[in-house]
Amino acid sequence: MTAEPTAETNFTAPDAALAGQKVPLPGHHGHEGRPYDPAKVEGVRAQFPILQEKVNGQPLVFLDSAASAQKPDMVIDAMGEAARHCYANIHRGLHSMSERTTAAYEGVRRDVARFINAPDARSVVFTANSTAAMNLLAHSYGATMAPGQAILISELEHHANIVPWQMLRDRTGLELRVCPITPEGDLDLDAYRKLLADGRVDLVSITHMSNVLGTVTPVGVLATMAHEAGARIHIDASQSIVHQPLDVQALDVDFMSFTGHKLYGPTGVGVLWGRYDLMQALPPFMGGGDMIRSVSFERSTWADTPHRFEAGTGPILEVIGLGAAIRFVESIGMDWIHQHDQALVRHAQNVLGNLKGVQLLGQPKERGGVVSFTMEGAHPHDLAVLLDQQGIAIRAGQHCAEPLVHKLGLQGTARASFGAYTTPAEIDALGRGLERAHDLLN
């Protein structure tokens, strides 16, 4: 049974969406060709209605995608049409609408598994965001750890991959270790090896891409070293998932988390993936409906993974939106997105690196689409306000990575971050805006 599209839209009914159809975009010619293809980028941009907006009378230049990416028509339409034509609570109803919505919801679970090359869709757990995913992991995996064991994180981490582990440490007495970074902003692999050497680290939890420096960590190497030391590894892919293809089997990781809203999807949905045998051995994080096998006043028993970790009514429309976001990026091609991202990073380094008074932060071996910087004589907040007056949106502050910003000897930075819709001309506009700000503030 499929929902009929309305006359005004090209809505793909949720159960038809289970096929994971790729939708061609204007200017799409596959993965081949130059990293920057103006026709293809304009075709991508045409899918984002908000990019037609003006801010303070100027065309919007949106360079804050690392905080939250904009939403394409495909996502907006999928959520709206599901709400209009195919919405009911999932897993519990026997009527047709519930069965169709459940099919759409579970279809997205399979879409996610395909997208990250997970061998078993049952290992995909839907959460509210990546912060919720990491809190789930800290609570449930932490409950299986023995006294004297340690968790290893790094100086690159977002607060979401620091605070839950601190809370676990304070609650249980487990040790929390922190791997330092090099002056260039890469993980110090010698220090990482030494922190693993005594065999007490049970879980490594490290970002795949820094949201401040853009550092892309060598996850394959980190996973091998962790496994050789008897540890398991979780990667926070909240930033990297939107910039490059990810394959959990090739990376050989045990757990991975990411959020939907940075992947051109809606807020309110994230993913925790883990190897099925590991997830099945973990206790649940929250109790309630839909996560149980049976309940009595004496005791309850748990459903199998993934449902034991999805208590209560799930983010139904948000999951459908996440599925549309995955189909959107697959239609563009993740290889092309990665090439485009790298071309933008190189262009930003050339443009910003030659501006008077501007200092780029970090020189990692591999950088994703994030560039943080400071300007002599200017507070980052002042830069953000002055640029906003020119229609340019950047981020300013500590980026929920206060320990890293302090490690750099700073109280805050300005940050430009890129999406598939970003153009070199927008980076040029940022450069001109910073020149004006420098002249005004110095």
Calculate what percentage of the chain has a pLDDT beyond 70.
92
State the DSSP H helix or E strand holding residue 343, giving kind and residue range, or none if neither.
helix 334-353
**Given pLDDT bands bounded at 50, 70 and 90, which one contains residue 93?**
confident
Q: Specify the pLDDT at position 37.
A: 77
Q: Specify the pLDDT at position 24.
A: 34
Report pLDDT digits (tens) over 296-337: 999 999 999 999 999 999 999 999 999 999 999 999 999 999
Q: How many helices (H) and strands (E) does the chain have?
A: 14, 17
Residue 216, φ and ψ in degrees, nearest 5 = -100, 120
- Residue 86 a catalytic site member: no
Report pLDDT digits (tens) over 154-199: 999 999 999 999 999 999 999 999 999 999 999 999 999 999 999 9
- Tell me the two tokens of residue 373: 């910087």
- As a whole number, the mean pLDDT across the chain is 91
- Residue pair 113/20 in contact (Cβ under 8 Å)? The answer is no
Measure the CA–CA gap between 283 and 343, rounded to whole angstroms.
44
- Residue pair 415/372 in contact (Cβ under 8 Å)? The answer is yes
Please give the torsion angle defined by the CA atoms of residues 377, 378, 379 and 383, in that order, rounded to the nearest 10 degrees.
Answer: -170
Give the chain's domains with CATH numbers: 96-329 (3.40.640.10), 334-441 (3.90.1150.10)
Measure the CA–CA gap between 47 and 370, rounded to whole angstroms.
22
Measure the CA–CA gap between 30 and 23, rounded to whole angstroms.
12
Identify the active-site residue in 134, 222, 352, 400: 400
Measure the CA–CA gap between 345 and 273, rounded to whole angstroms.
29
Q: Specify the pLDDT at position 16.
A: 32
Report pLDDT digits (tens) over 367-406: 999 999 999 999 999 999 999 999 999 999 999 999 999 9
What is the distance, to the nearest Å, from the Cα of residue 373 to the centroid of all Cα atoms in its chain? 22
User: If you ran DSSP here, which 8-state letter would residue 283 be given?
Assistant: P
pTM of the predicted model, to two decimals?
Answer: 0.91
Measure the CA–CA gap between 436 and 438, rounded to whole angstroms.
5
State the DSSP H helix or E strand holding residue 272, giving kind and residue range, or none if neither.
strand 270-274
Measure the CA–CA gap between 404 and 382, rounded to whole angstroms.
21
Pinpoint the alpha helices (H) of 116-218: 130-142, 163-172, 189-196
Q: Which residues fall within 8 angstroms of residue 406, CB to CB, at 6 or more apart?
A: none
User: If you ran DSSP here, which 8-state letter would residue 162 be given?
Assistant: T
More confident residue, 39 or 252: 252
C-alpha dihedral sign at 71, 73, 75, 80: positive
State the DSSP H helix or E strand holding residue 179, giving kind and residue range, or none if neither.
strand 175-179
